[in-house]
Structure 1
């Protein structure tokens, strides 16, 4: 019944594998993986689902980098190490068939596709311990299919190898959302209020969330890697003040999972 929610559940561990395989010899391999984990049913909810997601990192013969982690995919027209940019697409999950009987009376939101662009920089330390850092930003819009306006996201990640077979990583970031996005995903219309008993709420634009994560990768075979990650989001601003969140859900959104990936050159 809730299959549409499952794409997010293993996203953290898929990112841990594909974004973190920093081999001492330098460079990242191509990788395909799958993750399984737990994530909230919808943004702001406090009930969780278990699900599975794919992960892919592939460098084409022309040197373009393709990355696909759960509901997000991007094509890098820049450098593998250095400045990076290109198009991004994302599957934005909706809000339907939820367990909370009050939230279930609110307007439904369909799962929809977002599109936009990203820009960032990736650095690999080639002198001494080969740690890797990546900083970036992207902007996404739905062009009125479910919401107008846009979302703007910034993030940074850091991976440190502790040995030739074991590495750890962490990351931080935040998201800004337009007023229409917040009204669709966190607002309570008058019809919603009459149906659910929640107060009418009309959020504006602003910071939607901050987030952070920790993860680890272990090489279990020359071509196989296992990973685990814990990903925490904190809804902020008008999104965090929504009665959907404060009365029926939780500002703190926890995703965690494990995954397995196959790497090759």
Structure 2
């Protein structure tokens, strides 16, 4: 499973991330409680006990698309595996989701994306963009033992109200669950509604320093993600990732990005993992 304003004062940063911290922390506690309960039940009497790995830590991400400043948000991941099986690979930057169709190499299911709000003060008085919730689905294909291809498509139902899709490929090198390294390219595509929300300037909002700008949609960014998991003991481990995206096309040329943001988008995080249950190590 698995995101500015630092130069404008600690108090403002705190207000901006409080909602995310509270929401994510509550979800983490709920998921962790359910995980402990289910793992205990499995160990007490199930014929086929399952293992659960929970990761929790901090990550630094852009507060909204095109921003040049990073904010602190929680990094949370949860993985399940049947007894005797390895944890399935999940890229650290993929959206929340679960499988409803799973074959030997093909997987399909729903996905959920979240995007932070953009305040009007962040972009010189341009319209704000509210907190965005995106619903959609994903499909992924495993090519051989080391390569996974994945496509996600989501529609925003709040905030930007636009459409976003991400195509990715990951090359995976692993030593069971003891160590895993993944890396691969990313291409993000968005429609005109999404791009106008973050990168466009309407005639009504234009000013002498910010001329009207219409973003037509298309490829928004290209980049790459690296993930690394290291098991320290049978229970404890480290989960980490680093990501880079480069804004291209209309988003990259946007006056909003030139004046208030950056074409270079960085993200990264590190978390401590704990594994419940017994099985493969």
Look up the match of 2:155. Answer: 141
Distance 1:5 1:44 in 2: 21
Select the structure that is richer in strand: 1
Encode CA deviations 1:53-78: one digit per residue, 9 max, x unaligned: 221223699xxx9x897893112012
CA contact (8 A) 1:77 1:86 kept: yes
Structure 1 residues 82-101: aligned runs within 5 Å = 82-96=105-119, 100=122
Select the structure that is richer in helix: 2
Look up the match of 1:24. Answer: none
CA contact (8 A) 1:55 1:70 kept: no
Encode CA deviations 1:194-234: one digit per residue, 9 max, x unaligned: 3x832211110110111202232211110221032210011
After TM superposition, where is structure 1 displaced by more than 4 Å over at least 4 residues in a row? 4-7, 67-71
Task: Confirm or deny that 1:190 pairs with 2:203.
Answer: yes
Structure 1 residues 162-241: aligned runs within 5 Å = 165-194=178-207, 197-241=209-253
CA contact (8 A) 1:162 1:168 kept: no
Look up the match of 2:61. Answer: 39
Between Structure 1 and Structure 2, how many residues are aligned? 231
Q: Which has the larger radius of gyration?
A: 2
Question: How big is the alpha-carbon RMSD for the aligned residues of Structure 1 and Structure 2?
Answer: 3.1
Give 3-state SS (helix, strand or coil) of 2:127's partner. Answer: coil
Give 3-state SS (helix, strand or coil) of 1:76's partner. Answer: coil
Look up the match of 2:30. Answer: none
CA 1:218 to 1:51, structure 2 compared with 1: closer, same or farther past 3 Å? same
Shift of residue 31, structure 1, vs aligned partner: 1.9
Give 3-state SS (helix, strand or coil) of 2:206's partner. Answer: helix
CA 1:124 to 1:55, structure 2 compared with 1: closer, same or farther past 3 Å? farther
Q: Which runs of 5+ in 1 are unaligned?
A: 11-27, 126-131
CA 1:4 to 1:84, structure 2 compared with 1: closer, same or farther past 3 Å? farther
Q: Which runs of 5+ in 2 are unaligned?
A: 1-14, 25-49
TM-score (norm 2): 0.72
Shift of residue 161, structure 1, vs aligned partner: 2.7
